[in-house]
């Protein structure tokens, strides 16, 4: 069974949990759903399905050179703008917006009648980072937007037709603009200028050796799961990644005070993963066999402490909910 098919049962449960059972109609029927307890972007089953489709590949859609999964999830962060569209053949589109602006950036999941994920849709501006420091991102000129459809490698474009219909159904603000009697205002309403199809990369690795900081022991590389992207690194007490902070102390004054004079790690890597916290905890119980395990500083935080040939190490797992699980692997060399 493929990774995508393994999400069938969990997404089917999501359909049920969101009261998505609806009678079959001759035309697609869209319903606004009540705000759920968790945003779509916070729900582990949805996060898992998104990762199963696009892996930890990067791209420039709503942000420049950023994890694609993060951009898709950011596009469904609003708790109050969730819609369900049921098609006559049973396919269902579940969608929301980013919660910023007027819905210009938005995401959708396309499910088949059994709840299996068929494709993801992301309305975006092909944004990229500015070449000038501290300047905002640079995107396609308004109101020209792009619908990017992420799909399995063997999918046909016709499989994702409901996502095109969803994208062209504008959010209320832009829908009102499009119907305006003022030609200038109507012309300023968002338009889907193009549709592109991108094959998902479910096996795309989350990090590369070149991203590891100087002095990080090779013996600890197995503790860096590939189901996570590099969030930050440090070596010899200084930040290495992100580049904007390179050379600064790896800990703030407040963080250093909490250490109470304890020695700083010689090297450290922090990953961000969208895997479920409990699944990662089970993984690290295997990867860090022999290490002690204790609770961290917050409710959803644990710390493994162990030793190997290079010296002493810790692995800290911290569940940041919507923004993922942060995995910090720290190394202290033998003196």
Q: Each residue of 12-63: pLDDT tens digit?
A: 545 544 544 445 557 899 999 999 999 999 898 899 999 999 999 999 999 9
pLDDT at 5 over 70: no
Per-chain mean pLDDT for the chain: 90
pLDDT band at 309 (very low <50, low <70, confident <90, very high): confident
- Residue 270 has a pLDDT of 98
Map out the domains of the chain as residue ranges.
Answer: 5-199, 209-333
Q: Give the residue among 220, 256, 216, 254 at the shortest CA–CA distance from 232.
A: 216
- Return the axis-axis angle of helices 8-17 and 44-54, rounded to nearest 10°: 140
User: 83 by DSSP, 3-state: which?
Assistant: strand
Token output for 303: 């710390």
Burial code (b: 16+ CB inside 10 Å, e: under 16) for 123-149 equals bbbbbbeeeeeeeeebbeeebebbbbb
Q: Each residue of 230-256: pLDDT tens digit?
A: 999 999 999 999 998 999 999 998 888
Fold of 209-333: TATA-Binding Protein (3.30.310)
User: 149 by DSSP, 3-state: which?
Assistant: strand
Instruction: Name residues whose C-beta falls within 8 Å of residue 52's C-beta, 6 or more positions apart in sequence.
Output: 3, 4, 6, 7, 117, 202
- Residue 19 has a pLDDT of 40
Q: How far is CA 67 from CA 56, 182, 229, 231, in A?
A: 6, 39, 8, 11
Q: How far is CA 21 from CA 40, 166, 311, 326, in A?
A: 18, 19, 56, 35
Top-confidence residue, 259 or 224: 224
- Residue 15 has a pLDDT of 53
pLDDT band at 314 (very low <50, low <70, confident <90, very high): very high
pLDDT at 192 over 80: yes
pLDDT at 80 over 50: yes
User: 7 by DSSP, 3-state: which?
Assistant: helix
Task: Write the Ramachandran bin of 131: left for phi over 0, alpha for psi from -120 to 50, otherwise beta.
Answer: alpha
Provide the 8-state DSSP code for 285. H
Q: How far is CA 140 from CA 60, 125, 134, 191, 193, in A?
A: 12, 5, 19, 12, 10
User: 203 by DSSP, 3-state: which?
Assistant: coil
Q: Each residue of 111-165: pLDDT tens digit?
A: 999 999 999 999 999 999 888 877 889 999 989 999 999 999 999 988 899 999 9
């Amino acid at each position: 069974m493929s990774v995508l098919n393994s999400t069938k049962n969990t997404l089917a449960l999501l359909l049920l949990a969101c009261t998505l059972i609806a009678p079959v109609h001759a035309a697609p029927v869209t319903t606004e759903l009540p705000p759920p307890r968790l945003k779509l972007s916070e729900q582990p089953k949805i996060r898992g399905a998104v990762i199963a489709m696009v892996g930890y590949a990067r791209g420039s859609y709503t942000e420049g050179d950023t994890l694609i999964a993060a951009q898709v999830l950011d596009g469904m962060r609003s708790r109050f703008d969730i819609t369900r569209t049921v098609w006559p053949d049973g396919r269902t589109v579940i969608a929301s917006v980013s919660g910023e602006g007027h819905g210009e950036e938005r995401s959708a999941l396309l499910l088949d009648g059994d709840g299996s994920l068929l494709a993801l849709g992301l309305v975006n501006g092909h944004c990229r980072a500015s070449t000038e420091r501290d300047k905002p991102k640079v995107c396609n000129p308004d109101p020209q937007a792009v619908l990017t459809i992420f799909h399995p490698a063997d999918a046909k474009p016709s499989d994702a037709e409901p996502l095109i219909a969803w994208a062209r159904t504008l959010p209320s603000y832009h829908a009102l603009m499009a119907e305006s009697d003022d030609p200038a205002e109507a012309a300023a309403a968002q338009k889907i200028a193009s549709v592109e199809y991108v094959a998902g990369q479910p096996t795309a690795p989350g990090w590369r050796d070149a991203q590891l900081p100087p002095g990080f022991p090779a013996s600890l590389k197995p503790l860096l799961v590939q189901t996570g992207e590099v969030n930050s690194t440090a070596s010899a007490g200084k930040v290495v990644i992100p580049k904007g902070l390179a050379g600064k102390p790896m800990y703030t004054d407040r963080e250093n005070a909490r250490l109470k004079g304890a020695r700083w790690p010689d090297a450290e890597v922090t990953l961000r993963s969208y895997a479920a916290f409990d699944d990662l905890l089970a993984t690290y119980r295997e990867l860090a066999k022999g290490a002690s395990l204790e609770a961290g500083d917050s409710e959803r935080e644990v710390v493994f402490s162990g030793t190997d040939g290079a010296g002493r190490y810790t692995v800290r797992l911290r569940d940041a909910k919507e923004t993922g699980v942060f995995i910090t692997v720290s190394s202290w060399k033998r003196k």
